[in-house]
Chains A and B, each alone.
Chain A
Amino acid sequence: MIHSLFLVNASGDIFLEKHWKSVVSRSVCDYFFEALERATEPENVPPVIPTPHHYLINVLRHRIYFVAVIQSEVPPLFVIEFLHRVVDTFQDYFGVCTEAAIKDNVVVVYELLEEMLDNGFPLATESNILKELIKPPTILRTVVNTITGSTNVGEQLPTGQLSVVPWRRTGVKYTNNEAYFDVVEEIDAIIDKSGSTITAEIQGVIDACVKLTGMPDLTLSFMNPRLLDDVSFHPCVRFKRWEAERILSFIPPDGNFRLLSYHVSSQNLVAIPVYVKHNISFREGSSQGRFELTLGPKQTMGKAVESVLVSSQLPRGVLNANLNPSQGTYTFDPVTKLLSWDVGKINPQKLPSLKGSMSLQAGASKPDENPTINIQFKIQQLAISGLKVNRLDMYGEKYKPFKGIKYMTKAGKFQVRT
C-alpha cells in the first residue's frame, strides 16, 4: 500500500521522509514539484500524480504537502483519508501541525508513523491507542525527560488494541467526571445578486469532550431527530440503535472526539441569519468604481451575530480601494486584490456598512466580472436548524457525571454573488 511518505513545505523542500518498505529515492518527488510548478494556486496540485514507476498521492494541510508514494493499485481515498488522519494525529499531539512543530518533535513523529502503518497498511490510527503507546509531548514532560532521561514511550504495553472497544482504553480515572457536547452548525449558502437564496444547506457536527471514569455507556437523544437527514458517526455509535430509535448509544472514546456529523434535510428552507445589501459598480470610461456594502441581521432568532468577517476578491483591474467602514476595520491588499473587513458584532439598530470608491487602472476597460462576497459569522447558543438535545443518560457506571451542551451556528461556505 503506502510505500513512503515525504513531507514537503511551502517552499518546496522535503523536510521529512519515512519509508515502510524498501527505500524510494526522494528524487521521485521531482514529479510532484513539476506539478506544483504547473499549478497556479497551491491547492490546484492534482491529488494523484502518476509517474513511470510510482503514483504520488498528496494532501495539502497547514501549508505542508504530505506526499505518499504508492506502487500499485489502491483506492486513492484510502490513502488520502489516511494522510488526513496522520495530520489530525499530529495536530492532536503537538497542538499545531506546522513544519517547525514536526521538526521539533521529529522523533515522536517517527514513532507515530511507525505505529500507524505496518508495511504500508494502517495499523493503529485511533488517537486513544496511540496516546497509550506514545505519550504526547508536554512542556512539563519535556523538562522532566531531559533531566531524568525518561521517555515518551509508554512504560506499559497498551491493551486498547486488543479489546473490542478499540477506541477506548481501559482503566480511565477522573476525579471530576464530565461530558461536554458542542453542537456546531454551519450554513453553506449561495445568495444571488437579488438576495434570493440559490442553495442553502446546514451541516452540523457534534464534538464531544468526554472525561468519564471507567467504561460508561452513554445514550444521547434528540428532541427532533427527524431533522437529521444524513449522518455519519464515530465508529463507537451503535448504528442499529440509531436506525431503530434515533438514539445515539455509544461507549465514548476518552477525551475529544467527533461524535457525529450530520446534514439537515435539504427539503427544508434554511433560515439565513444575515443579509447583504451591495452596490458594487464600475462606470464605463472612468477609472473609478463605487463600492457599497451593508450588512444586517435576518432570522437570527433574537441572537446576536458575532465575529463577522467579510472578504471579497476584487477584480484584477482594481488598483486601490478607498473605503469608509461604519464599524470595524478593513484591509485591502493591492497585490492579491483581497478586500477583507473585520466587522465584529452586528448591531441591529445601527447596521454596519462599508462605503467608498475603488480606483481602477487608468484607460483599462471596466472589469466585466463582479466579485463574490464571502461572509463569516458566529451565533452563540443557537443551532439554526432547531436541533435540540433532549437528554444524556449514562449506564454502566455508578457516579453522576456533569453534563454540558453548547450550541453554536457558524457560516460555512457562505457566498453572496454580486
Chain B
Amino acid sequence: MQKLLQLPVNAVNIVKSVQGVAQGQEEALSPVLTPDSGPQNWYSAVQPEELRHLRSGGTGGGGGSGGGEGSEDRPGQEEGLTSVQSQPLRHDDLKEMLDSNKDSLKLEAMKRIVAMIARGKNASDLFPAVVKNVACKNIEVKKLVYVYLVRYAEEQQDLALLSISTFQRGLKDPNQLIRASALRVLSSIRVTIIVPIMMLAIKEAASDMSPYVRKTAAHAIPKLHSLDPEQKDQLIEVIEKLLADKTTLVAGSVVMAFEEVCPDRIDLIHKNYRKLCNLLIDVEEWGQVVIINMLTRYARTQFLNPNINESLLEDSGEKAFYASDDEEDEDKKAEAATLAKRKPYVMDPDHRLLLRNTKPLLQSRNAAVVMAVAQLYFHLAPKAEVGIIAKALVRLMRSHSEVQYVVLQNVATMTIKRRGMFEPYLKSFYIRSTDPTQIKILKLEVLTNLANETNISTILREFQTYIKSMDKDFVAASIQAIGRCATNIGEVRDTCLNGLVQLLSNRDELVVAESVVVIKKLLQMQPEQHSDIIKHMAKLIDNIQVPMARASILWLIGEYCEHVPKIAPDVLRKMAKSFTNEEDIVKLQIINLAAKLYLTNSKQTKLLTQYVLNLAKYDQNYDIRDRARFIRQLIVPTDKSGALNKYAKKLFLALKPAPVLESPFKDRDHFQLGSLSHLLNAKAGGYQELPDWPESAPDPSVRNVEVKDSVIRLLERVTTLTSIPEWSKCTSRKDRKEKKVEKPFYSDSEGESGPTESADSESDSGSGSESASGSEESGSGSESEDSGEESESEEEEEDEEDQKKKRKKLDKTKPKKPVVESAESEQSSGAEDRKRVRKAVKNQKSASESESESESSESDDESEEESEEESESDTDIRKKKAPVSKQPPKQSKKESKKETQEMSLLDLDDFEPSPASAPVTPVNFLSSSLVSDLEGLSLTDTILAPTTIAPSGLIKMYELLHRITGEGLGVEYCFSRQPFSPDPNMVAVQIQFTNNTNSETKNLHIEEPRLQSGMRIREFAEIEVLAAGESVTVVMGIDFCDSTQAANFQLCSQGQKALRFHQKYLNFCSKDAQSTHTRKFFVSIQPPVGELMTPAFLTENDFKKEQGKLMGMNEISEKLTLGGKCVNEHVIVERVTATANLSRVPCGSDKECRFAGKTVSSGCLVLVTVATKDTGGAQLTVNCEKMVIGTMLVKDILQALSQ
C-alpha cells in the first residue's frame, strides 16, 4: 500500500487505482512509471513531460529493471486483467509523449514501448499514436516505429494502412538504402490487403539498379509467399529473374527464396548452375550454406553416381570388417545391380566444378558452411575424395558444445558408411571428464563405429577408463559400447566378455546390471563355450536387484539350462520362493524359466513349475496371468490339449538368432546430412528429400549459357568496387584444361612444343613474369636472413619503399599493352605487375575461349578493361606460383633481389604446376636447406621445440614414369608417410598421374606385379578417366618386407595416340583421329631405406631399455663431422627425420638427439642416436635387429648430416 501512495498525483490515476488494490499494485510495478520517490511526483504535476523524461534515465530498459521484475513472471490471466484497466493510464502517458513535438520525447516513448514488446507485454492499443510517427524525420524514432509496426500491423490491419503511403514514397527515394528499408518494412507487414502493392514493389525492386535493393526484394519474396500463397506463379517469375543476377550480394538471398517458395523447380537452376558455383566463394557465409544445400540436391538429380564402379572394388576390402551377414547381402545385391549396368564412368565437368569450388569453403570459420560442404562431399564426391572433409569436421569439435553435438551426430552417421575417413582422427574422439553427457555418449558412438581389428585394443583400453567415470549414464553407455565392439569384432569377443564378467563384481549396481544385459547378448552368440560364465551369473541372482538384469540372467539360465543342468533347478527354486516380490518382467522370466526346465528336466522341476504357475495364476497383472494360463495349457499334457503340446519343446527351445547390436545411426544417411531431419531422425516440415542418383544422366547441355561477356563484365563492374579482393572466381573447367596443356612442363620439352606454340608465346612470358613476381615475394621472405632478427626491421622497410618507387617509375614508362617485355617485367614486381600479368594470361584465356586464330588482335581490346575477371585467371596463376618459391634458397645471402628474380625466371620451366585435384600432394617444395636456415635463425634467441617440426613437409617426389616415355602420361610418386589404413604392414605410396596429352586417358590401373617373394601390393582403385591436362593422386600400399628391393609392375592405360599438334588444331583433329590403344609401361618403385619405417613413440626410459637389448651385432656406430649447416640440434632433427620416417624421442641432454621407429612390415625397432660433440664432430649410433637396414640407414643419415 505504500507504493500506492507513491503514484504520481494524477486524477485519473487515483480513481483507477483505488478501484482495486490488486490492480493498483500492478500499476506500481509497471515499467512505465518509475516510483522513485514521493516529492518528485509533485513536480511532475507542474512539468509533467520534461521531468518524466529526465527521471526515466537513458534507456527504456532502465525503468523495467527496477519494478518490472515482479510482473514479468506472471503472464496470462493477470496480464489480461491489468491491461484492461491500467493500460489506459500508462499509455496515456506515452501517447502524450508521442504526440509532442520533441523528437527526444518521442524517442523516449518509443524506447519504452519497444522495451515492453521485448518483454512480451501487449502494447497494441498504442497503435494509432505510434503509427502517426512513421513519417518522423528522426532515424531512430522511425526505426523503432518500424519495429512496432511490424509487430502489431497484423492485429490492426486498417490502421496499418495509414503507413503504407510513407513506404510507397520511400520506394521511390533516390537513396538505395532508403528504398531497401522501405521495401523491407512494407513486406514485413502481414496485411493481406496490401498484397498487390507488395507484389508491385517486389517486381520493381527486382530490377532495381542497386544490388542491395535487389537483395531486399529477394528477401521479400518468401514473406509475400507465406502471406498469400496464390501469388506463387508471379513470384517464381521474379525468382527466375533474380537467379540470373550476377552479384554475390543477391545470390544467397534469392536461393533462399527459391528454397522456400519453389524448391521443386530445379529446372530454374540449370542456366545459373555454373554461375552459382563460381560465385560461391564470395557469397556471404549464410548464403553459402543455403546455396550448397540446394546444389547438393540439384547435383543428385543431374549427375551420375561417381561411385557406381568403385563401390565394386572397395566393398570387398571393407566387408571383411563387418560381421553382420545381412549387410553383406545388401552389398551383394548392389554389386549385382552395378555389375549389370557397369560402364565406364565419366564425371560431368559441372559435377567436378561444384566439388572443386566448394572445397575451399571447408576452411570457413563458420561451422554451418563447413558442415554444408562436408555433406555435399559425402553425398556427391567419389569415395576417394570424401576423406578431405574429415579434418575440417574434426576441427569443429573444438567449437561450442552445441556445435559439437550436431557435428558428432553427423560424424556418427558418416563413420558407419566410411569408417576409414575418420580413423586417423580416432584420438580426437577420446572423451574428457568435463564433456557434457550427451557429447560423451555421441563420442562413444563414434569410437565404437571406428573400432576395428587394428585399433580395438587401444579403444578398449580407453573404454576401461570410461567405466570408472562418475557419470553413470555414461558408464552404462560405455558398457554397451564394449558389447557392440565385441559383437562386431570376433577377435576381441573373449577379451570383452572377460572384462564384462569382471565388472559383475563391481560395487555399483547399475554397472553390474548393464553388464549382465550386455553379457546376455554376447553369450547368445556362442553359448557352448561359456557355461562357467552362466554359472557365475546364476550366483549373482542373489545380489542383483535391478529387474532388467535379473530378468536377463533368468532368461539366460532358461535358454541354456542344458549347459548348467545342476544349477538351473536350484535357481528356479530360489525364484519360486521370492516370486511374489519380483517385478513384472522378472516374473515373466521366472515363468519362462519354469516352462523351459519343465520341458527339459521335468523330473526335478515338475512340482516347482506347477507351484510357480499357480502363483502366477493369481497375480495382479493380467499379462502374467495370461502367460501362466497359456504356458500351462501348452506344456502340461492334458486330454484337452491338442496337437500343439507335441511341439512345445520346439516352440520354447527353438534356436534363437543372436541379436545384432547395431548403431542407432545405421540408417540415418537417407536423410541429407547436416539437416534438421537427420538430427531428429524424423522428417521435419519442409524437408526436401535427397533424390537418388539418376540411372542415366540428364542432358548436360541445359546448363550451357550463351555468354555475353561484355554484358556480364559491365554488370559486375557496376556492382563491385575497385578494391576487389584478389580471391578468385574459378574459371570454367574448359579454360583450365586448355591452359594447362599449353604450359611447357619441363625445360627439355620446350623444344618440342616451342615452334608450334609460337602464337602463344605471350602467354608463356606472361606466366613467366608472374611467377617472377611471386618469387620476388618469397625472395623478400628469405631476405630476413640478412637481418637475422625478428621480422620487421627498419632497413627492410626503407628498402621496400625504394622498390615501390622504382616500380612506379617503371610502370609509367611502360606502354599499356601486353607486349612480350620479359626483361622489364622481371624487374618490376608487386601489384601493378601482377595485374599486367593477369591481363596477359587473360588474353590467352579469351583466345582459347573464342577458339579463333586471331588471338592477339582480340586480346588487345580486352586488355583495356581492368575488370575483376582477371582474378579468375588469377586462380590458376597462384597455383603455379607455389613451386617457384623453391628458388631463393640457392642465392647467396648478399645477392640482390633482382638477381633472385632472374634466377627464378631462368629455371622457371623446371616446375610443373601443382595439380588442382591433388590435395595431398606436398605443395611446398621448399628445400630443406632453406628451412633449416630460417629455423636456424629463429633459434638465435629462443630454443624451439624441436619435436614439433613436421617432417611431412619435406616429402620428396620421385619420378615413376617420365612423360615422354609415358607417351604423355607423367607419373610421380612419393612416400606420404601416412599410415596405410587398409593394411598397416604396407608402406603408403602416393602416386600422382598427370595427363600431359590433349586427350583423355582411361582405365589407368596396375597389372602383373612382379615382386620378390613375400612382397605384396595393394593396388589403387582403377582410375576410370584422366582428362587431358588433369592430374590425379592415388595411394597404393606396398609391403616391401623390410627390404629395399624394388617393386616392379606394369601401369596400363588406354588413351588416344598422342597428338602433338598445336592447340588450335586440336578441335579438328580430335574429332577425326580418335583411335584408342592400350599402353603398358614397366615401372618400379624402390624405397629408400628410411621410408620402410614408421615412427614409434617411446619415452626416454623405454628407449634406453630397448637400446640395451639391441647391443652388439645389432648396433652400428659411426663417427662423422657435421656439415656446415648442421649448426644445432634443430637442424639435425630436421635432417634425420627427412631421411627416415622416425620420430623424436624426448631426451634430457641437449647434446643428444634420439629417434625411434619401427619397420613397417615386421615391426622391428629402429633406434637412432646422434650425439654431438663440442668439437663439431658427432657420433651416430643405429640399433636395429635387421642389420641390413641398420647399415643402410647409417649410410643415408651420414650423408644427410654431413652435407
Contacts and interface: CB of A to CB of B under 8 A. Distances in A.
A360 interface: no
A204 to B, nearest CB: 11
B189 to A, nearest CB: 11
Which of B365, B948, B953 has most chain A Cβ within 10 Å? B948
Contacts of B438: 44, 46
Interface string B1135-1178: 00000000110100000000000000000000000000000000
Nearest to B221: A119
B212 A107 contact: no
Interface stretch (B334-342, B396-404, B753-761, B1046-1054): B396-404
A219 B800 CA distance: 14
A46 B676 CA distance: 13
Contact of B118 (A16, A46, A245, A396): A16
A270 B949 CA distance: 10
B428 A235 contact: no
Nearest to A190: B430
17 contacts: A16-B118, A19-B151, A41-B437, A77-B367, A106-B115, A110-B147, A149-B108, A164-B723, A192-B465, A224-B935, A232-B392, A232-B395, A235-B285, A245-B777, A258-B365, A368-B508, A384-B945
Contacts of A374: 433-434
B952 A265 contact: yes
B861 interface: no
B676 A73 contact: yes
B-side interface mostly: helix
Given A149-B104, A196-B1099, A230-B391, A119 B223 contact: yes
B433 A415 contact: yes
Contacts of B219: 118-119, 121, 123
Contacts of B784: 390-391
A245 B878 contact: yes
Interface stretch (B1-9, B136-144, B1060-1068): B136-144
Nearest to A269: B947
A15 B73 CA distance: 9
B371 A103 contact: no
Contact of A80 (B406, B781, B800, B878): B406
Interface in A24-75: 26, 40-41, 43-44, 46-48, 50, 55, 58-61, 70-75
Contacts of B726: 238, 240-241, 249
A209 to B, nearest CB: 17
Top 3 nearest A-B pairs by Cβ distance?
A: A149-B104, A72-B686, A226-B953
A279 B588 CA distance: 49
B139 A155 contact: yes
Given A199-B427, A232-B363, A385-B945, A22 B190 contact: yes
Secondary structure dominating the interface of A: mixed
B791 interface: yes
Nearest to A71: B685
A165 interface: yes
A244 B224 CA distance: 46
Given A75-B675, A226-B953, A244-B879, A82 B286 contact: yes
A247 B923 CA distance: 13
Interface centre among A55, A161, A301, A417 (most CB of B within 10 A): A161
Interface stretch (B936-944, B1113-1121, B1194-1202): B936-944
Contact of B791 (A106, A164, A302, A391): A391
B281 interface: yes
Nearest to B436: A43
A223 B293 CA distance: 38
A78 B368 contact: yes
Given A119-B223, A149-B107, A403 B792 contact: yes
A182 B1150 CA distance: 30
Given A316-B470, A413-B432, A75 B61 contact: no
A15 B727 contact: no
Contacts of B139: 151, 153-155
B948 A268 contact: yes
Contacts of B796: 391
Given A107-B61, A151-B139, 18 more contacts: A15-B119, A44-B437, A70-B676, A75-B368, A78-B368, A108-B59, A119-B188, A119-B220, A121-B219, A143-B58, A151-B107, A152-B140, A158-B177, A188-B398, A232-B365, A243-B360, A269-B948, A405-B791
Given A46-B438, A75-B289, A111 B687 contact: no
B372 interface: yes
A162 B950 contact: no
B1097 interface: yes
A16 B119 contact: yes
A81 B366 contact: yes
B176 interface: yes
A244 B878 contact: yes
A386 B1144 CA distance: 15
Contacts of B366: 81
B72 interface: yes
A55 B676 contact: yes
Contacts of A283: none
A75 B291 CA distance: 12
A106 B114 contact: yes
Contacts of B102: 149
A121 B405 contact: no
A81 B284 CA distance: 14
B325 to A, nearest CB: 35
Nearest to A370: B468
A413 B64 contact: no
A188 B434 CA distance: 13
Interface string B230-257: 0000000000000000001100010010
Contacts of B105: 149
A48 B945 contact: no
A352 interface: no
B686 A246 contact: no
Contacts of B223: 119
A30 B1084 CA distance: 69
B952 A230 contact: no
B114 A110 contact: yes
A145 B360 contact: no
B430 A199 contact: yes
Contact of B725 (A122, A231, A238, A315): A238
B915 interface: no
B502 to A, nearest CB: 12
Given A121-B219, A268-B948, A17 B118 contact: yes
Contact of B59 (A107, A250, A261, A264): A107
A239 B140 contact: no
A13 interface: yes
A223 B75 contact: no
Nearest to A46: B438
Q: Which of A81, A100, A114, A241 has the most CB of B within 10 A?
A: A81
Given A368-B507, A392-B791, A76 B406 contact: yes
A108 B140 CA distance: 11
B934 A224 contact: yes
Contacts of A340: none
Contact of A13 (B58, B72, B470, B780): B72
Nearest to A146: B58
B144 A107 contact: yes
B420 interface: no
A105 B61 CA distance: 6
Nearest to B152: A23
A110 B151 CA distance: 12
Contacts of A219: 777
Interface string A211-244: 0000100010101111101111111101111011
B363 A244 contact: no
A49 B677 CA distance: 12
Contacts of A143: 58
B275 interface: no
Interface in A102-139: 103-111, 114, 118-119, 121-123, 125, 137
B175 interface: yes
B15 interface: no
